[in-house]
Structure 1
Amino acid sequence: MTVPSPAEEVVRICQDLIRFDTSNFGDNEGPGERAAAEYTAGLLAEVGLAAEVFESSPGRASVVARMEGQDPSAGALVVHGHLDVVPAQRQDWSVDPFAAEEKDGLIWGRGAVDMKDMDAMILSVVRHLARTGAKPKRDLVIAFFADEEAGGTYGARWAVENRPELFDGATEAISEVGGFSSTLGGRRAYFLQTAEKGLAWLRLVAQGRAGHGSQLSEDNAVTNLARAVARIGDYRWPIELTDTTRRFLDGVTELTGVVFDPDDPDVLLKELGSVARFVGATLQNTSNPTVLRAGYKDNVIPGLAEARIDARPLPGQDELVLSRIKELAGEGIEVSYVHNDIALEAPFSGNLVDAMVDSLRAEDPDAVVLPYTLSGGTDNKALHRLGITGYGFAPLQLPEDLDFTGMFHGVDERVPVESLKFGTRVLHRLLTTY
């Protein structure tokens, strides 16, 4: 019997995963991941890998399996993805976001790049290893988590806090939002994610004097809150470069000849094309107002108004960011965390990094590989609590005209079929050589 290659399976698996609506609306709302988790566990069981499906809350399911390596003394590698996706409104899309249609050489659908493409690559490669009896050099902990899109409370964080034994012996991890390509200065460069900003979702509460909407109001909660939100939204954080970002910018300068000017960062950012969306937000801390709530009737002045702020601190700046936001909010505004998680920064060196770079260059010999900081966050934050060092490495060789970074949480999300196949070859090499 001929064993299918990972490239022969990855498209079907990616489409199957997209067809499970695992929309995560936050606050434990949505259909959950159970059906997708059972499908994923079934694919592993089919090739003899025992996978555990567990729930943190009804329907909020994650999957973890372990593949034995040749050297039990070597630190295990966690290869992980998440099964949930952000919601998609059908009327905004040109296709059904959960139909996983293949069109123009691309797979379209919610999760095609974030991150059911990587889930499919992991599954197809691991299934091939199991079928052929090929053992990785070290144990692999293969994990597919719930709830990443809402901070991981019901997914990776829950698993780390309640089932830490699943990750025994693990020292490093790879996951999403790294290893993808872009063209810089005529060269194809791959961005390996070695750092990610922190996560500070904040609640602002203003209290005032409730009353009739026709009366004079000298202590209006909505007005008080609006001033605070405007100050925070208008604030421009100073440019502050981490070690990772400095190294990235130096690499871009070497490729393009354009030197980074902190007084005019847009000059270099223009060289990055759509990737500037990711990188531009890593040059400083950010704080964006995202939600406003107040009142219940047109002619009633509410006694309380609430806002949410999505703040993303650079590594080591969590306390500074909270302090500055409190200062900007001003007196009388209560500021508290809704969700808080650390920033990460790992070295662009070591055996795992060398293996990732070598795996890319084996498929693309002229590749330039640069470290970069992710402006968002991943489940590597949760694994860090167990002392596991995480990187973003979901390898994709992409066409120049594809706005890849715009696909994350965007409309008409899609991934090229050939990019998926490329990714399986790179990932297979990595997992069999490292």
Structure 2
Amino acid sequence: MYIRHRLAILVSAFMFGVIGHAAPAPNAVTNIASPAVVQEARTMLERLVSFRSAAGHAGVLPMAQYLSDQFIEAGFPASDVELVRVQDDVAMIVRYRPALVNTKPPVIFLAHMDVVDARREDWATDPWALTEKDGFLYGRGAVDNKFGVLTVAQAFMRLKREGFVPDRELILAFSGDEETGMQTTRVLADRLKGAAFAVNSDAGGGYTGSNGMATYAIQAAEKTYATFELTVRNEGGHSSSPRTDNAIYELAAALQKIAAHRFPVKWNAVSLDGFAAIAPTIEGELGKAMLQFAQHPGDAAAVAILEKEASVDRDLRTTCVATMLKAGTAENVLASVATATVNCRIFPGETIADVQSTLARVAGNPALEIKVRGEPVESPVSEVPLEARRALDAVLAVRAPGASVSTYMEAGGTDGLWFRRAGIPTVAMGPLFATDDSNYAFHGNNERLPLAEFKGGLDHYYRFIKALAGPANADQ
């Protein structure tokens, strides 16, 4: 789910965990790759988008095979390019090895090859054919996350062709089911334990305002995604004889109580950093409340103001909301089973068991069954590794000199949660710099990538890797 802090939300300034104190900087898209690199990237993105790599369409494997051929053609030994089969899905590992064995642990670069499905009849263009229109590149995955795949892959290939030798092992890890079960992600995280850290292309990024002010957000934490099924059962019966223990009514009563409940306010170093950074850019009482909360976490007066904004309140606490209902078999039959699906986004540090217990207590019905769907994953907060921050600073010195940098917490989930859980610090440092006109529409109809941002992001990981793993005097 590419750039989940939704760079355009930076513009609205209600995603608190982004950046403030922006410094004047040239528009990032003025620092673009060479025409040859742009053309090569355009051709590759066309191929990547053409694969219908959505669940149920078997497009991930041929996409991975295409990429494998490209890596080998660029000079990577076939033995260092691996397709990892996980049941019906596939992941990919590419190893960029140093000249000599050394003690530096490897660094991983993440992206996901799969996408959310799209139907031709819902789009203005063919979602599976990259189409340039009105200054945008349209296509499913053009942003989420095939642009991430492209920029990481092309950086590896360009550097390999140029004879660049990293001073430590670099590992490309592309998952194949991030949008669904993340089974490939789990395998990758387990296979690659012991890495120094991972850099995720699927979140984080920058924003350049119309006044030339530039900011950059690093995603360093994620809420836990957990879904619960709440069920009430009884014997049912005929609708002509209503019973007092109506399953639908009992479930509705429980849901109303849950809807009225607010989980306690939480914070961590990442969220406080974000509040402190964005506060000066927000006018009025909201900005003042952000600064007050950053300086005095939990301040009741500040919370009272912040929680009025839904897009801010969600990052103050765990949230749970009913999303689906199922009950009854016919219009003249009393439902014997009524089930609600409740989706929760859990603040780091709070457990799934804690939330399940809270839902039961708030609902107040001992007969209500509450079970967890699937295997939700709790993910810790990552500190930004100093090496990663220095490499990012080197990139920004070229792309957006003077841009301020801060961290934020993701309300959704990415592959990073499994790598963090495996003990690998993971930070998302995506390649895009949004503007006021960016409207990516990822996961929606007519997903599109601004052509200027496409060109501006192609050197992002190329420069990052040279700064991270190249000679100290390398020309960045």
Shorter chain as normaliser: what TM range? Answer: 0.7 to 0.9
> Could you tell me which of 287, 290, 294 is aligned with 2:323?
290
Task: Give every structure 1 segment of 4 or more consecutive aligned residues whose post-TM-superposition deviation is greater than 6 Å.
Answer: none
**Which residue of structure 2 lines up, in the alignment, with residue 66 of structure 1?**
95
- Report the AA paired with residue 83 of structure 1: M
Is the contact between residue 6 and residue 421 of structure 1 (CA under 8 Å) also seen in structure 2?
Answer: no
CA contact (8 A) 2:205 2:430 kept: yes
Shift of the 37–241 alpha-carbon distance from structure 1 to 2, 3 Å rule, reads same
Say which of 343, 349, 358 aligns to 1:324.
358
Q: Name the counterpart of 1:10.
A: 41
Give the superposition deviation at 1:316: 0.3
- What secondary structure, in the 3-state scheme, does the structure 2 residue paired with 1:376 have? coil
Which of 450, 455, 458 is the aligned partner of 1:416?
Answer: 450
Cα separation, 2, equivalents of 1:21 and 1:235: 41
Q: Which runs of 5+ in 2 are unaligned?
A: 1-33, 291-301, 469-476
1:365 to 401, 412, 417: 401
Q: Deviations over 1:285-304 (max 9, x none)?
A: 11122222223322232322
Q: 1:345 is matched with which residue: 365, 374, 381?
A: 381
2:306 counterpart of 1:265:
yes
Q: How many residues align?
A: 412
Q: Which has the higher contact order (CA 8 A, sep 6+)?
A: 2
Distance of 1:384 and 1:235 partners within structure 2? 30
Query: Contact (CA 8 Å) 2:384, 2:427: kept in 1 or not?
Result: no
Q: Which moved more, 1:326-335 or 1:372-381?
A: 326-335
- Equivalent residue letter for 1:8: Q
Residue aligning to 1:173: 198
State the 1:391 CA deviation: 0.7
In 1, the alpha carbon distance for the partners of 2:64 and 2:255 equals 40
Is the contact made by 1:11 and 1:417 (CA closer than 8 Å) also made in structure 2? Answer: no
| Map of 1:39 onto structure 2 | 66
Inter-partner Cα distance in structure 2 for 1:101 and 1:344:
39
Tell me: CA distance 1:374–1:231, structure 2 relative to 1, closer, same or farther (3 Å). Answer: same
C-alpha deviations, 1:163-195, integer Å up to 9, x for none? x2xx25412001111123254997221111111
Q: Over the residues paired in the alignment, what is the CA RMSD in angstroms? A: 2.5
Secondary structure of residue in 2 paired with 1:219: coil
Aligned pairs for 1:21-100 (under 5 A) are 21-24=52-55, 29-31=56-58, 33-49=60-76, 50=78, 51-58=81-88, 60-69=89-98, 72-100=102-130
- Structure 1 residue 125: deviation in Å? 1.0
Provide, for residues 294-325 of structure 1, a one-character-per-residue CA deviation record: whole Å limited to 9, x for no partner.
23322232322222222111110124323222
1:301 pairs with 323, 330, 334, which one? 334
Corresponding residue for residue 473 of structure 2: none
**In the alignment, what sits opposite 1:221?**
247
Offset of residue 148 of structure 1: 0.8
Where 2:393 maps in the other structure, the secondary structure is helix
Q: C-alpha separation between the residues in 2 aligned to 1:94 and 1:173?
A: 37
Name the SS for the 1:95 alignment partner.
Answer: coil
Q: Match of 1:124? A: 154
Q: Specify whether residues 243 and 385 from structure 1 end up closer, same or farther in structure 2 by C-alpha distance, changes over 3 A only.
A: closer
Q: Gaps (5+ residues) in structure 1?
A: 270-275
CA contact (8 A) 1:209 1:220 kept: no
Shift in CA distance, 299/30, structure 1 to aligned 2, threshold 3 Å: farther
- Check the 8 A contact 1:43/1:123 in 2, yes or no: no
Task: Give, in angstroms, the shift of residue 230 of structure 1.
Answer: 3.2
In 2: Cα distance, 1:185 partner to 1:334 partner:
55
- How many percent identity over aligned positions? 28
Query: TM-score scaled by structure 1?
Result: 0.87
- SS at the partner of 1:111? coil
SS of 2:444's equivalent? Answer: coil
- Larger Rg belongs to: 2
8 Å Cα contact 1:56/1:155 also seen in 2: yes
CA contact (8 A) 1:194 1:371 kept: yes
Partner of 2:184: 155
Q: Taking structure 1 as reference, are residues 169 and 349 closer, same or farther at Cα in structure 2, changes over 3 Å only?
A: closer
Question: Where do 1:234-253 residues align within 5 Å?
Answer: 234-253=260-279
CA contact 1:197–1:344 (8 Å) conserved in 2: no
Kept after mapping to 1: 8 A contact 2:383/2:425 = no
| TM-score of the aligned structures, taking structure 2 as reference length | 0.80
1:321-378 deviations in Å (ceiling 9; x for gaps): 2322222333212112213111331124522122223312321102111211111111
